[in-house]
Amino acid sequence: MYYLTKIEDTVRIPPYKFEDPLEEVAIETLNETYNGRLDKKLGLLVSVNNIEVIGEGKVIMGDGAAYHEVVFNAVFFKPELYEIIDGEVIEIAEFGAFIRIGPMDGLVHVSQVTDDYINYDSKRGALLAKESKKTLEEGNFVRARIVAVSLKGKSTKETRIGLTMRQPNLGRFEWIEDEKNKSKK
């Protein structure tokens, strides 16, 4: 889920940028500082949107840069437990499929792909269902439910998002469409 949050901080404007528009430089600096930062409560900071307040700059002796108190809006992405998300399969492994959900990745373990027995085809890089003949490959688009979230550390590499596709109306988009068409008959 994406949401907007107000943050207060101080931004450092180097002297060589004094002639540039202050708000543009401040947003650029804040994005360089904060983008990709992970906060356990807020989630992943995706972008600094705009600045509501820029205070008067203060110069610190020996530095030469101006420091401005700012209040700005930032967009965060925080996966919520039981949220249904759409994503793209970016990698298939013997133990499951990695799904790109916005700026983060989640894992659908093989036990959570379908109710069917799953085989891993290393030549194709695909997961194959034995009875239903369903396949899951890199590049497929899927709908899944978040069943586990662990936002640890300061980067997305340390996060863990567990997904399932074993519930009605979840899975590869083609599987969902096939089920809808079967129920209409």
DSSP output for 91-148? EEETTEEEEEETTEEEEEEGGGT-SS-EEEETTTTEEEETTT--EEETT-EEEEEEEE
pLDDT band at 185 (very low <50, low <70, confident <90, very high): low
Domains and CATH numbers, the chain: 2-77 (3.30.1490.120), 83-184 (2.40.50.140)
Dihedral sign (CA 153, 156, 157, 160):
positive
Q: Is 31 exposed, middle or buried (0-12, 13-18, 19+ CB in 10 A)?
A: middle
Q: Per-residue pLDDT for 83 more than 90?
A: yes
Q: What is the pLDDT of residues 118-172, one digit of tens each?
A: 999 999 999 999 998 999 999 999 999 999 999 887 777 778 999 999 999 999 9
pLDDT at 105: 94
What pTM was computed for the model? 0.82
Find the helix or strand (DSSP H, E) in which 24 lies.
helix 22-34
User: Is 176 in contact with 165 (CB distance < 8 Å)?
Assistant: no
Sign of the dihedral defined by the CA atoms of residues 175, 179, 181, 185, in that order:
positive
